[in-house]
Structure 1
Amino acid sequence: MKEVQSLERGIHILFQFSRKRPAMTAEEIAMAVGLPKSSIYRFLRTFTKHGLLERDALTGQYYLGLRLLELEEVVHSKIDIETVSKPFLTALGEFSGETVQLNILHGDHGICVYGVESPSAFRLAPEKGRVIPLYAGASGTSILAFMDREERNIICEGPLEQFTPYTITEPEILKRHLDEIYKQGYVITEQEVYIGSLGIAAPVFGRDQKVLGSISLSGPIQRIDEERKIAIRDELIRTAKEVTDRMIRLGR
């Protein structure tokens, strides 16, 4: 029990450091955690020995050590776009009441890696692992529009399968469509892959503004009127930006 209590005190000491307070003296740490300086010094010696804290010899202040950066790298290596996106997709699904999904770029196509299904009886169900064409539908075109221009043009030249009468299969028309998506930063499509469906999607980026995938929403056209469409679009764009910001901070 004493060992557990000591560990908790040590963790509490480390948690006193923050962006607003990156360095502190032993006296300041003791005051912050409410422990005598004699006890604080034992913790500080141990933390310094193992690289969790470092001490500035001139000021006497302690700050977080480089060993914690190594641990941070371990944490970051386990965090992928799916992990980052899940809570945001859940919130978007609750807001919209429609099916939302996360799609990632994989070679010359997209893949649905996570989805939140609409609670409505009449819905489009997300299929984890489903291959998504990049040239048709909101999920794919919101990725293709932001890919490298040369790669984009290769895909636009086809072959382009026609899924419905509304699928764009003319390369030049598709390129102009992608240019529009690029300019506005999102896409709304109707019946390009499935008859009766409406899709809204926005890209997700990583470091160097490289497109990683997209967040998309789909539902029956008759259920999403113009007012709902605008509200959902704005929330989806905000969601994609939140995920992008997280991925960039993680160096992905």
Structure 2
Amino acid sequence: MTSGPDAAPAAGGTVAAGRVADVLLAVADAPRPVGVSELARRLGLSKAVVHRILSSLVDRGLLATSPGRGTYTLGAAAVRIGARALGSLDLRVLALPVLGELQARTGETTTVSALVGTHRIYLDQVVSPQEIRMTVELGVPCPLHAGASGKAILAFADGRLRAAVLAGPLAGLTTQTITGAGALRAELAEIRARGVALSRGERQAGAASVAAPVLGPDGHAIGSVSVCGPRDRLDPAALEGLADAVAAAARRVSDAVAASALTP
């Protein structure tokens, strides 16, 4: 064991780094935005220590504050890190062949999203060859209540996460976004019954999509597969016509995820 004047600073630095990691992971694991008091109690640290760590993580974009609530969620920098990590893991790799086949069958852009904290991100897409087409931005956090990809995840997510999102706030991204908890709860029940989610202009005006959940080994959604395109082309009848193909594609990805999890 090392001794002498350098030992204490090294140990202190290790403890400090561990505390920062513990705070970040505790916020990431929380099913809802979490406050200083709850984090301090959970981690066995003083409020002053937790507050200093939180402030440092917010300054670096790893955490974000909820205005007026004094609570914290993952920030954009943490989501980018998660996106890069997820991009190298099974979900994106396993989904890509399925996305390619789905795009060829439908002629529209196909995507795979992953659940990250209380949001989702697009991991990848296979873009439509049509001149007027939909494209998405990879790695950017999107709320779960707006759009087909998010609603498909939320409907099949762990109940605690669903309750946290329903507790709001539910921001209106467009005039079509569902912003009432009761209306969203009813929509999610319908999605669970049908197995697919539909959206026309809820997250992005002028866009439409149909999505189905990718389920993990525990039966909860870890992501979603979607077909998306211009709203003018994907009218309600067109979306209904795509639903079975999207649901089948998501089941194939879910099966591949399950098989991968069983592989030593």
Residue of structure 1 equivalent to 2:147: 137
Query: Which of residues 166, 170, 185 is equivalent to 1:156?
Result: 166
Cα 1:228–1:166 shift into 2, 3 Å: closer
Query: Match for 1:231: what amino acid?
Result: G
Q: Distance in 2 between matches of 1:148 and 1:227?
A: 31
Q: Which residue of 2 aligns with 1:113?
A: 123
Mapped to 2, the partners of 1:235 and 1:84 lie a distance apart of: 17
Say if 1:186 and 1:127 are closer, same or farther in 2 by CA, change over 3 A. same
Q: 1:228 to 1:108 in 2, by over 3 A?
A: same
Amino acid at match of 2:134: L
Instruction: Structure 2: state its 5+ residue gaps.
Output: 1-87
Task: Please identify runs of 4+ aligned residues in structure 1 that moved more than 4 A.
Answer: none
1:187 aligns with 2:191: no
CA-CA distance at 1:221 after TM superposition: 2.2
| Structure 1 residues 31-72: Cα deviation after superposition (integer angstroms, max 9, x where no partner) | xxxxxxxxxxxxxxxxxxxxxxxxxxxxxxxxxxxxxxxxxx
1:175 counterpart (185, 190, 208): 185
Shift of 1:165: 1.0
- What residue in structure 2 maps to residue 247 of structure 1? 257
Displacement of 1:227: 5.3
Quote the residue 1:23 is aligned against.
none
- The amino acid that maps onto 1:175 is R
Contact kept? 1:187, 1:202, Cα under 8 Å = yes
Q: Secondary structure at the match of 1:222?
A: coil
| Alignment-mate amino acid for residue 134 of structure 1 | L
Q: In the alignment, is the contact (CA less than 8 A) between 2:102 and 2:249 conserved in 1?
A: yes
Q: Secondary structure at the match of 1:236?
A: helix
User: Which residue does 1:17 correspond to in 2?
Assistant: none
Q: Measure the CA separation in 2 of the matches of 1:214 and 1:170.
A: 23
Q: CA 1:226/1:249 → structure 2, altered by over 3 Å: closer, same or farther? A: same
- The 3 A distance-change label for structure 1 pair 228 and 168 is closer
Distance 2:239 2:186 in 1: 23
Aligned residues: 175
Q: Please state whether the residue corresponding to 1:152 is helix, strand or coil.
A: helix
* Structure 1 residues not aligned, in runs of 5+: 1-77
Q: TM-score, normalised by structure 2?
A: 0.63
What is the Cα deviation at residue 230 of structure 1?
3.4
- Of residues 156-165 and 136-145 in structure 1, the stretch that sits farther from structure 2 once superposed is 156-165
The sequence identity of aligned pairs, in percent, is 35
Q: CA deviation at 1:150?
A: 2.2
> What is the 5 A alignment of 1:29-178?
80-178=90-188
Q: Which amino acid aligns with 1:164?
A: T
Deviation at 1:196, TM superposition (A): 2.0
Q: Secondary structure at the match of 1:207?
A: coil
CA RMSD of aligned residues (A): 1.6
Matched, 1:219 2:229: yes
Q: Larger Rg: 1 or 2?
A: 1
Shift of 1:208: 2.1
8 Å CA contact 1:116, 1:126 repeated in 2: no
TM-score by length of structure 1 reads 0.66
Question: Equivalent residue of 1:192, what SS?
Answer: coil
